[in-house]
Amino acid sequence: MNREKRILIVGAGEAGLALAGDLAKRKLKDNIAGFVDDDFSKIGSVISDIEVYGPIKSISEICHSLKISDVMIAIPSASSALINNVFSSVVDYDRSINLYFVPSSEKFFDSTPIFPSLREFSYSELLGRDEFSIDIDLMQEYFCDKKILITGAGGSIGAEICKQLMKFNVGKIIALGRGENSIYNLKKDMDDYVKMMAHPVPIEYKIVDVKDYRLLDRTFNEERPHIVFHAAAHKHVPLMESNEAEAAQNNILGTNNVLDIAAKYLVEKFVLISTDKAVRPTNVMGATKRVAESLTSYYGHKKNLKFTVVRFGNVLGSRGSVIPLFQDQIKSGSPVTVTHPDVTRYFMSIPEASLLVINSAAISSGGEIYVLDMGEQYKIDDIAKRMIELYGYNSEVEYIGLRPGDKLYEELYYNKGEIIKTGNSKILLLLDDNNILSDDEFDTLIKTVVEKVPYMTGLEVREFLKRYAPEYDY
- As a whole number of angstroms, the distance between CA 331 and CA 88 comes to 16
Per the CB < 8 A criterion, the answer to whether 335 and 396 are in contact is yes
Nearest-angstrom CA–CA distance, 324 and 259: 33
Q: Catalytic site residue 277? A: yes
Distance, CA of 296 to CA of 171 (rounded, Å):
26
Compute CA distances 131 → 33, 105, 134, 329, 373, whole Å. Answer: 32, 10, 11, 31, 12
Output the 3-class SS for 57-74.
HHHHHHHHHHCCCEEEEC
Q: Which of 167, 277, 407, 426 is catalytic?
A: 277
Cis omega (within 30 of 0) for bond into 55: yes
Task: Write the single-letter amino acid at 275.
Answer: T
Collapsing DSSP states into helix, strand and coil, what is residue 343? Answer: coil
| C-alpha span between 247 and 237 (Å, rounded) | 10
Please tell me whether residue 114 adopts helix, strand or coil conformation: coil
Rounded Cα distance between 466 and 114, Å, is 47
Q: Dihedral angle at the C-alpha atoms of 155, 160, 161, 164, nearest 10 degrees?
A: 160
Contact 357, 426 (CB under 8 A): no
Q: What is the DSSP string of 392-427?
A: T----EEE--PPTT--SS--S-S-GGGEEE-SSTTE
Which residues 6+ apart lie within 8 Å of 434 measured at CB? 293, 294, 297, 369
Q: What is the DSSP letter of 335?
A: P
- Could you give the CA distance from residue 239 to residue 36 in angstroms, rounded to a whole number? 46
326 C-beta neighbours (distance < 10 Å), count = 23
Catalytic residues: 277
